[in-house]
Amino acid sequence: MKNVLVLGATGNVAQYFIDSFANVAPNDMQLTLWARNSRRLPRSQHEAYQVYEGDMYDATTLVPAIADADIIVSFIGSSPMPTYAQALIDAINMSGRTIDRVIWLGAGGMMGETIGGEGRIARSMPGYFNQQLRGGEMLMGADFDTTIVSPVMFHGGPAGNPIIFDSHETTPAQTVSRETIALVYLEALLQDKWRNQMITVGDRK
């Protein structure tokens, strides 16, 4: 049985992922949830899954959850990403656990690609994207396989058809649903796709 640890489990994208996973859960995978404030998780998830609580600034709070993990999917999307990436790497090392793979949430523009063919996003917040890039590079250089999933700007609508591009290319996608990102995570996990890649994801041109 492979144990998939979900970091940032209370977030909107994570909740879409957890709900989608529950609908198609394979017999050889189970979820464990980790959140800064686990009280924000629905009661049904407390009943269905092992739940841990901690702080991404403190690697030691991650260790108990990582101790039984095989794969880690992270929905931690805020800065400072290098701090969070280092905390995860340190926690894995402290746990002594061999992690097969990490799927990590990046941001569209982190590799300097142009969004919607204009590049306005990448130029507007260089410090933010620089942090996203540094965090992603730290994980890509670690001993486990890593997939960086980078959404372009979120819209509030339902899931669309994913538009997936290598993060070094220009993507015609302008926005993406949080649900679409969750489904791409699920595809990466269940179909074992995009190992050691950074992908940009949108669903609307």
Can you tell me the mean pLDDT for 162-180? Answer: 83
Spatial CA neighbour of 172 closest among 198, 123, 205: 205
pLDDT band per the 50, 70, 90 thresholds, residue 158? very high
User: How far, in Å, CA of 119 to CA of 112, rounded?
Assistant: 8
How many folded domains does the chain comprise? 1
Can you tell me the mean pLDDT for 183-187? Answer: 97
Q: In what order do the strands lie in the sheet with 145-151?
A: 50-53, 29-35, 2-7, 71-74, 101-105, 145-151, 197-202, 163-166
Name which of 22-31, 123-132, 151-160 the model is least confident about.
123-132
> The domain containing residue 44 runs over which residues?
2-202
Can you tell me the mean pLDDT for 155-161? Answer: 93
Residue 172 reports pLDDT greater than 70: yes
Can you tell me the mean pLDDT for 186-203? Answer: 95
Q: Are strands 175-177 and 153-155 parallel, antiparallel or unpaired?
A: parallel
Residue 204 reports pLDDT greater than 80: yes
From residue 132, give the alpha-carbon distance in Å to each of 17, 70, 76, 128, 190.
Answer: 21, 24, 11, 6, 25
pLDDT at 119: 45
The tens digit of pLDDT for each residue in 47-92 reads: 999 999 999 999 999 999 999 999 999 999 888 999 999 999 999 9
Instruction: Count CA atoms closer than 13 A to 159's CA, side-chain side.
Output: 12
pLDDT at 167: 64
Residue 202 reports pLDDT greater than 50: yes
CATH number, domain of 93, equals 3.40.50.720
What's the mean per-residue pLDDT of the chain? 90
User: How far, in Å, CA of 95 to CA of 155, rounded?
Assistant: 38
pLDDT at 65: 97
The tens digit of pLDDT for each residue in 102-127 reads: 999 987 666 665 555 444 444 445 57
